Structure formats: C-alpha cells, structure tokens
Structure 1
Amino acid sequence: MNLQQLRYATEIEKTGSITKAAKNLYMGQPNLSKSIKELEQELGVTIFERTTKGVKPTRIGLEFLSYAHTILAQMEELESLYKPRSEKDFSFSISVPRATYLTAAFTDFLTEYVGDGPIDVHFRETSSMAAIQDVASGSSQLGIIRSENIHERYFLNFLSNMHLECKPIWEFQMCLLMSKNHPLASCNEIVYHMLDGYIEIAHGDFQVPSLTAADLSETAKNMGSKRRISIYERGSQYDLLKRLPGTYMWVSPIPCSILQENGLVLKECAVGAVSKDLLITRTGHIFTKEEQAFLNTVRRFTENNPFQVGHTR
C-alpha cells in the first residue's frame, strides 16, 4: 500500500465512478482498476462495490477511506510546512461559525499581517459539523465550532472519534440582536415570553452530532419560536433585522462599533444560552506564524471585550 493508492481510492469515492476518477487522475481505467484490486487484495477487504450507478464504498471501505483522508491531509500538511517558502508567502485557511467578532478579528488580522507578497487565504463561514469535516479532511487547517454548554459533550465525543483536538476560545451568553427601532429595544430587561409574536432570524444549518431523545426534546423546547426565518448566508441578516419590523436574532456579543454602523442593539435575556467557541485542529497540528497571529488577534477581541449589551445608542 502506498500514498498513490490512497489518492486513487479517495478520488473514486469522490466521483463515484472508476471511469471518471481515471479521467481526473490522467490515467487509464484498466490501470486504476488494477491498482485498486491490488490494494484490496493486500488489505484483504473489499473497498468498493459496483452498483447500477457506478461504485460506492462498502461499510469497511468507508472506515478505510476515513483513515485514508486523514493520512493524506497529514501528508499535505507536512509538505506545506516544510516545502521551500519565501518569507513573504502568506498562507491561511480556517472554517468558522457565523460570528461578527470573528470576521472583525479576521479583518484586523489581514490588515496588520498581509504584506505585498503571494497570499493564499481561505476563510469559510459554515456550520459546526461542516467545519469539523473541513478540518478532518484537510481543506481547512483550523476550525472554530460553536456549542451550547448543554451540547458540548456531544461535540467533544465526536471530535475525539474524528481524531481532532480542541481548546476553548471564548465562553459567553447568547444575546438578542435587533434594530434600535424594535419595540423591545427600549426595554431594560427582556424575558423570554416577551419574544412571542416577533420573528426570529436563525441560521438554518445548526447541527449537533448525536442527541438522545430527551436531549432532542429539551433542545426543541429551548428553540421556542413559532415564527422563524432560516437563512444560510450571514450577509443578509443585518438587512433583515433593519428592514423587517419585529425581527431578532440570538447571537454572540458583537463589537459596539458594528452595532452603531448598522443601527442595531444587543439586549440581554434571562434565558440566553451559555455557549462556547472551540478551536479545533488535527491531532499534533503545528501552528504556523500566520495562524498564531490570527489567534492572538481573536484573543485581543475577547479579552478587551469591545462589546456593548443593553444600550440603545
């Protein structure tokens, strides 16, 4: 077994076809089929089974491919770390939750550290489960996931099974974000029942790895709102909050300068969930100077706490 065979197998998994995989790999189909057959014989397992629509991994094949992705991602990371680089090269990739404080920190980080040399930067806002898959597959070197404290153990178990490490970045209470013209914006204190009848704006791809029936019931009870608009792009949330009367969102604390720019306010609510943002990496990950600089910038944001909750100006 060699790395080339692992690349062959993952390409077949991606395309679902030996013919398409061979084309993408610039090789003949017979040679690809022969290589996979030799790999299966060496391992003593069947990785792929033929279907009317092509090929798909067997149960044990899925397990093998999970390890193959991890090995290939680690090899790519080694090559990236030790290949010759100019001091001016700038490389960075991360998958994060849709959090304004992170995008603000990311902007400050780029402003401070990007020079005039080559850059290769990937910043993806996505769900926690997608961020985990990005890091596990190597498409992102770093990830940040968000978990309510009541769900944290499920994420920790899932990360352990995926051979990923994590450490907390910030723990906070979720706040209500709304227009300064919202009927509740002038209230000194908001309790949960006061939100009845108003429209919640929510990100539509929230996922928890595995919940029991009791946990699902508790989660459903806490989610509450019977009037909800689910969105998948963070860019539209501020426009909806400003222009659609009576809308609100549950969010992490937002820098006060951004609130003022958008005519929004943050309000505390007695039942706001306590949440935690966690940094995730592959096991044994070695941080680059760019990654460490970004994390330092995030730390400055959370420690200096440039946030404003409860004010209407």
Structure 2
Amino acid sequence: MNITQIRYVLETAASSSMREAATKLFVSQPALSTSIGDLETELGILIFERTNKGISLTDEGREFVAYAKKALAQYEILEDRFLSRDSDKERFSVSSQHYNFAIKAFTDVIKAFDPDKYVFAIHETKTRDVLEDVRTMKSEIGIISFSGSNESIIKKLFKEYNLEFTPLMQRETYAYVWENHKFAGRKEISLEELSDYPCVSFDQSDDSNFYLTEEAMADYDFKKMIKSDDRATTMEIIERLQGYSVGCGMLSEDDAVLRGMVSIKLKEEDPLVIGYIVRKGSVMSVYGKAYIEELMKYKEL
C-alpha cells in the first residue's frame, strides 16, 4: 500500500464513477481500477462494490476511507512541513466556522510578529472539518460553536477527538434578512412569521448529520429550505428571493460579504456558545499562544 493508492481510493469514494475519478486524477480508468484492485488484494478486503450502475463503498470500504483520510492528512502535514520549498518558513494555522472576530485575531497576530518568512493559514470551513483539522494537527486552534440542539453530540466529539473546548461568548438567535426586506425594520420576529420565505442554510450535508450544523435551530422543521455551501452565494439567494438565514447577530461593517444584511432577534431561543478548541496536552507555538491571547479579549463567559 502506498500514498498514491490511498489518494486514488479517496478520490474514487468522492466521485460518482470510476471514470469521473480517473478524469479528476489525470490517469486512465484501467490504471485506476488496477491500482485499487491491487490494494484490495493486498488488504484482503473489497473496498468498492462494482455494478452496472456504478460503484459504492462496502462496509469495510467505509471503515478504510475513514482511516485513510486521517493518514493522508498526516502525510500531507509532514510533506508540507519537511519536503516543500517553504520548509524554512514560520507556520501557523487556524480552522474556523465563520466569525469575524476569529479573522481579526488572526490578522492581529500577523501584524504583531510580522516574521520575515512565513506561511500562515486560516481555513473557513465546516464543523466536522474544524474538529478534524485540530485533531490531525492541520490547525493548532479551531473556532467552533454549538447550541442546545447539538450540544451533546458536539461535546461527545470533543471527548472522542481528545479536544479541549474553552467558551468565549454566548449569543442569542437572530434572523438575517436583506436591508430592503419587508421585515427589516422589526426588532423581533418569529420563525412562523418568516415561514413564507426560504431559510438559506449553510450546507454540511457531506457529513449527513444536521447535528453538526453551525447554526441555531438545527432541529426546527423549516417550511422552505435552501442549502448553500458558499457564503457569497447564500447572500445573493437571500437578496434575490427575500429569504433569511439564522445566526447569532454578529454583523460587522468590516465583513464585505454581509454588507446589506440586517439582523432581527428571533422569539425562538436556541443560544449559541462560541469558543475555541485545541488538542489536549498540545504545546502551543508562539503564534498559537498569541492567537489565544487575542481570542481572550472577546471572552465573556
């Protein structure tokens, strides 16, 4: 087994067919099929079920993919750190659900140190990815939130992933609408009053688990729902369809994507607890320590 075969399996698992995977990997379909077949023979398991309708993961294949993702992530961290042309540069990485204060803290750290050579990264991503990035050391620190509707599962994942969570703040639940929406001047509103308009939600469907949503009211039965995995697209849909999204009301004039949006307090309550995660027992870099110091400036809990 080699890293190329692992990459082949992961790309195939994420594709609808072997042909699609081969195209993405820039290899021939027979070469891809042979490579995966050799791996299955070596491991003594069947990773993919092959039928006339396409391919699908077997139970053993799903287990293999779960471990393969972690192995590839670790390999890429080593490759990036020791084999890349940037190996002599200072490094620091953060993964976050989208919160403007997390971005500001990140830029403030860069301004404070301004090293001569560096490769810093901030990954704005989905809940599961924030957890995985910190777990696998792709990022030193993660910014994450949970509400009453998903608190138990998130805390279970903290324990399972050996992560330590530090709460920073708690925010009430708000609806975001465009500034020209008929309800834009309201101070408070209910989801029932908004039911004729589509709720646009950040899509985390790759996890097939709504409990990992970063939004409040995850268990509410919305009458109309549109899912989007791009924030700019989400804002455009809200503007064009007079829709709304659910959030914590933390709008900032510095956030170009959110300009034109206004927040209205929801009558329904499902407060978000927002904080940061690190690996238990991890030794923070000087940049990690400085980033946490910046985050603590926002601590209210």
* Alignment TM class, shorter chain as reference: 0.5 to 0.7
Cα distance change of structure 1 residues 88 and 173 upon mapping to structure 2, 3 Å threshold: same
Cα distance change of structure 1 residues 264 and 24 upon mapping to structure 2, 3 Å threshold: closer
Cα distance change of structure 1 residues 71 and 101 upon mapping to structure 2, 3 Å threshold: same
What pairs with 1:44-63 in structure 2 (closer than 5 Å)?
44-52=44-52, 55-63=55-63
For 1:146, give the aligned amino acid. S
Aligned-partner SS, 2:150: helix
Aligned-partner SS, 1:303: coil
What pairs with 1:222-301 in structure 2 (closer than 5 Å)?
233-235=230-232, 250-252=246-248, 254=250, 271-280=268-277, 287-300=284-297
Identity level (%) = 21
Look up the match of 1:24.
Answer: 25
Aligned-partner SS, 2:299: helix
Residues paired across the two proteins, number? 284
Look up the match of 1:165.
Answer: 163
Look up the match of 1:74.
Answer: 74
Compute the displacement of 1:9 (Å): 3.1
For 1:251, give the aligned amino acid. G
Aligned-partner SS, 1:49: strand
Q: Deviation per CA, 1:149-185, whole angstroms, max 9, x where unpaired?
A: 3311122335666x46351342403254686x95335
Contact 2:163 2:280 in 1 (8 A): yes
Q: Deviation per CA, 1:64-94, whole angstroms, max 9, x where unpaired?
A: 1211111221233344455686664445352
Q: Deviation per CA, 1:192-235, whole angstroms, max 9, x where unpaired?
A: 55983697875443678366xxxxx99326x7xx7888765445
Look up the match of 2:93.
Answer: 92
Choose from 180, 183, 186 the match for 1:184: 186
Cα distance change of structure 1 residues 58 and 79 upon mapping to structure 2, 3 Å threshold: same
CA distance in 2, matches of 1:9, 1:227: 37
Look up the match of 1:196.
Answer: 193
Gaps of 5+ in 1: 212-216, 306-313
Q: Deviation per CA, 1:267-289, whole angstroms, max 9, x where unpaired?
A: 76675422223545678866444
Cα distance change of structure 1 residues 11 and 248 upon mapping to structure 2, 3 Å threshold: closer
Structure with the greater alpha carbon radius of gyration? 1
CA distance in 2, matches of 1:55, 1:239: 36
Cα distance change of structure 1 residues 132 and 52 upon mapping to structure 2, 3 Å threshold: farther
Normalising by the residue count of structure 1, what TM-score does the alignment of the two structures yield?
Answer: 0.62
CA distance in 1, matches of 2:277, 2:94: 13
Gaps of 5+ in 2: 212-216
CA distance in 1, matches of 2:154, 2:26: 36
Greater fraction of residues in helix: 1
CA distance in 1, matches of 2:147, 2:139: 23
Give the CA RMSD over aligned residues: 5.1
Look up the match of 2:214.
Answer: none
Compute the displacement of 1:57 (Å): 2.6
What pairs with 1:132-147 in structure 2 (closer than 5 Å)?
132=131, 142-147=141-146
CA distance in 1, matches of 2:251, 2:32: 57
Look up the match of 1:65.
Answer: 65
For 1:24, give the aligned amino acid. L
Cα distance change of structure 1 residues 17 and 166 upon mapping to structure 2, 3 Å threshold: farther
Look up the match of 1:155.
Answer: 154
Contact 1:154 1:209 in 2 (8 A): no
Cα distance change of structure 1 residues 140 and 296 upon mapping to structure 2, 3 Å threshold: same
Contact 2:74 2:136 in 1 (8 A): no
